[in-house]
Amino acid sequence: MQRRRDNTTQRTVIMIITGILAVLLLAFFAGVFFFSGHFLPNTTINDTDVSYMTEKEAEKILTEEAEKYSIDVIGREGSGGTITAGDINLKPVFNGVIGEFQKSQEAFTWPLSFSDTPEFNSDNVVDFDEDRLEAALNALGIFDRNREPEDAYLSEYNSDGGYRIIAEDPGTTLIRGKTEETVKEAIELLKKNVDLSEEGCYKEPGITKEDATLNTLKDNLNKFVNVKLTIDYGDNSETVDGDLIGQWISVDGTTVTLDDGKVKEYVDSLAKAHDTFGISRQFKTHSGETITVRGGNYGWWTDRPNTAVALAEAIRKGESGEFKPVYFSEAKVHGDSDIGNSYVEVDLDNQHVYVYKDNNLVVHCDCVSGKVSAGNFTPDGTYAITYKERDATLVGETYSSPVSYWMPFNGNIGLHDASWRSSFGGSIYVTGGSHGCVNLPKSKAAEIFEQVEKGEAVVVYGGKQEVPQEKPQNVTELTEEQQLALLQLILQQQAAAMSGQIDETGGGIEGQ
C-alpha cells in the first residue's frame, strides 16, 4: 500500500517538472519567434530606445525623433546655442539600415538581452543641409570670439613668494574646419549635445602650467631668490633677498647661475660703507672735549674675497637667516662709535691713561710714552689690544727688559709696567721717554691688565710729534692687493710683538 502511494507521488513530480520544462521551452521558442522580427530588450539606435519594436515601428519613432531633434552646441565662456532640425532641414533617411540592425541581433539570445544593453549608432539615418548648418553655426556667434590662446609663463619676481607660474589662457579661438566637422558628426548620430572644448575644436596654448620645463625653471629660480640673509651692522642692517639676488643671476634654459663677480661687487660696497679700520674717529675725551683721532689699526675690516665666497655659497645652498661677513679685524660694536663702552684712553699731552669699563672710569694713572727727541714717539690713532701676557721679556738690540704685564696694541708697541722708572707723567717723554711703548707704574699696570680685554680699543692722541708720522690708510680706500699687503704687515708686527723682537720698520719695544 505504501509502495503504491510512493509511486504515485513520483509520477506527479515528474509530470510537474515536465510541464514546467514544456512551458519554458514553449516560452523560449515563442521569444525566438517574436524577436526574429523585433529588436531585443534594452536596444537603442542613436540613443533612441527601440526595444521590442519592429523595423517599421523603429523607423517611425526615429522619424518622430528626427522631426523634433535639436542639438546644444556648447562653447567656452558661455558661448554656443541650440540648432534645431528645422534650422538645417534635417530629415530621416534609413535605406534599410534599421532592418540590418534588427537582423544582426541573434533571436536565440533574447533571454540574455535583459542584462545587456545593445547599442547601434549610424550616421546614415538622417540627412541635412550642410550649407544651412554652416549658417546656423555662424548665427550662434561662436566664431566671433577670437581671443588667441596664451602660454603659461613665469611671473615677475615678487618678494612674497618669489616666482610663480601664471596659468595659460586657453582663449576662445575655434578651428573652423574642426568645429564644423565635429558638429556634423554629432548631428549624424543624433546626439543631444556637443562640447566643442572637450572635442578639441579650440586652438590650445603650447605651454601649460603643468609644463615640466617651466616648473623646473620656477623651482630653480626660487631656490635663489627666496633666500633672505640679514647682515647685522648694529643700528643698521643690510638685507640680501630676491630683489638683490635677482640682479645677480642669469638663466640658460632651466639652469640658473649666480654671478660671483656681482656678489663680490656687492661685498665691496658693503665694506666701503661699513668698514672702519684706519678711519678718523670723533672721540669724546675724559674732559668732555670732542676731538678727531686719525688712523690706527682698530675697527671693522672685511675680508672681501672670503666674504664673497661665503655669501655666494649661502645663496647657492638656499640658506636664510643671519649672515656674518668674514673679517680681518673686528671692533666691539658697529656704528659711528665702534669702540663701544669699554676702552683705554691715552692722553699723550697730559701723559695720562684712563681705562673705562661700561662707560665707568675704573683705572687711571700717569704714564711715560715714546721718546720724542729720538724719534720714538708713540703714534696716535685708535688701536686694539692684540693680546695680554704675564711676565714677558721685551728684547731689543741693546737691552732685555722683563715686564710683569704686557698689553701690545700697535705691533710691538703696547702698555706695560716699567719698574725701572721712579716717576711718570709731565714732560719726561720728550727727552726721557720709551722706545714707543706706554710705560705704567707696576701697581696700575696690574689693575689695567685685569680690566682690559683682547680686541678692546686703545685711543691714543696728542703729544709732541717732532718727526712726521705716516698714518695707516683707511682700508676702504685701498685696493684688494693693498689691503692684503697691509694685513701681512700687521700680522708680522703682531708676531714680532709676541716674540719680543723689535720691528725695524717702526717704533720698538723700549729698554731701560
CA 60 to chain CA centroid, Å, is 70
Per-residue pLDDT of 337-384, as tens digits, reads 899 999 999 999 999 999 999 999 999 999 999 999 988 899 999 999
- The CA distances from residue 224 to 152, 244, 292, 313, 316, in Å, are 22, 10, 44, 11, 7
pLDDT exceeds cutoff 70 at 503: no
| In contact, 428 and 443? CB cutoff 8 Å | no
The Cα 293–Cα 282 span in angstroms is 6
The Cα 44–Cα 71 span in angstroms is 18
> What is the amino acid identity at position 426?
G
Q: Please give the mean pLDDT across all residues of the chain.
A: 86
pLDDT for residue 203: 96
Angle at 123 between CA 122 and CA 125, to 5 degrees: 80
Higher pLDDT, 260 or 160: 260
Per-residue pLDDT of 274-317, as tens digits, reads 999 988 999 999 999 999 999 888 999 999 999 999 999 999 99
According to the 3-state scheme, what is the secondary structure of 406-450? EEEEECCEEEEECCCCCCCCCCHHHHHCECCCEEECHHHHHHHHH
CA-based nearest residue to 88, from 125, 122, 136:
136
pLDDT for residue 488: 57
pLDDT exceeds cutoff 70 at 102: no
Helix orientation angle between 480-499 and 304-316, rounded to the nearest 10 degrees: 110
pLDDT for residue 17: 81
According to the 3-state scheme, what is the secondary structure of 144-194? CCCCCCECCEECCCECCCECCEECCECCCCECHHHHHHHHHHHHHCCCCEE
Instruction: Give me 230's grid cell.
Output: 640679514
Q: What share of the chain is helix, strand, coil (3-state, %, to 5)?
A: 35, 25, 40
pLDDT for residue 27: 72
pLDDT band at 477 (very low <50, low <70, confident <90, very high): low
Angle at 495 between CA 489 and CA 500, to 5 degrees: 125
pLDDT for residue 468: 47
The Cα 162–Cα 193 span in angstroms is 44
pLDDT for residue 475: 61
Mean pLDDT of 91-107: 73
The Cα 391–Cα 397 span in angstroms is 20
pLDDT for residue 496: 54
- The CA distances from residue 420 to 161, 286, 400, 412, 499, in Å, are 70, 28, 12, 19, 22
In whole angstroms, how large is the CA radius of gyration of the chain?
51
Question: With pLDDT > 70 as the criterion, what percentage of the chain qualifies?
Answer: 85
pLDDT band at 492 (very low <50, low <70, confident <90, very high): low
The Cα 49–Cα 44 span in angstroms is 4
- Strand ranges, E, within 33-186: 44-45, 48-49, 70-74, 80-84, 91-92, 119-120, 126-127, 153-154, 165-166
Residues 6+ apart with CB under 8 A from 450: none
pLDDT for residue 100: 72
pLDDT exceeds cutoff 80 at 205: yes
pLDDT exceeds cutoff 70 at 220: yes
Mean pLDDT of 164-168: 96
Q: Would you call 203 helix, strand, or coil by DSSP?
A: coil
The Cα 104–Cα 94 span in angstroms is 16
The Cα 362–Cα 448 span in angstroms is 9
Higher pLDDT, 512 or 6: 6
pLDDT exceeds cutoff 60 at 96: yes
Per-residue pLDDT of 428-468, as tens digits, reads 999 999 989 999 999 999 999 999 999 999 999 998 765 44
pLDDT exceeds cutoff 60 at 508: no
Fold exhibited by the domain 294-299+338-499? L,D-transpeptidase catalytic domain-like (2.40.440)
CA 173 to chain CA centroid, Å, is 37
- The CA distances from residue 476 to 17, 375, 393, in Å, are 115, 29, 36
Higher pLDDT, 501 or 334: 334
pLDDT for residue 247: 94
CATH of domain 211-279+300-330: 3.10.20.800
Mean pLDDT of 202-231: 95
Worst-scoring range by mean pLDDT, 162-166, 299-303, 407-411, 467-471?
Answer: 467-471
The Cα 354–Cα 342 span in angstroms is 11
pLDDT band at 507 (very low <50, low <70, confident <90, very high): very low
The Cα 403–Cα 412 span in angstroms is 14
pLDDT for residue 501: 45
Mean pLDDT of 197-205: 96
Q: Would you call 65 helix, strand, or coil by DSSP?
A: helix
Worst-scoring range by mean pLDDT, 35-39, 159-163, 321-325?
Answer: 35-39
The Cα 350–Cα 438 span in angstroms is 13
pTM score, two decimals?
A: 0.69
Element of type H or E holding 270 = helix 260-274
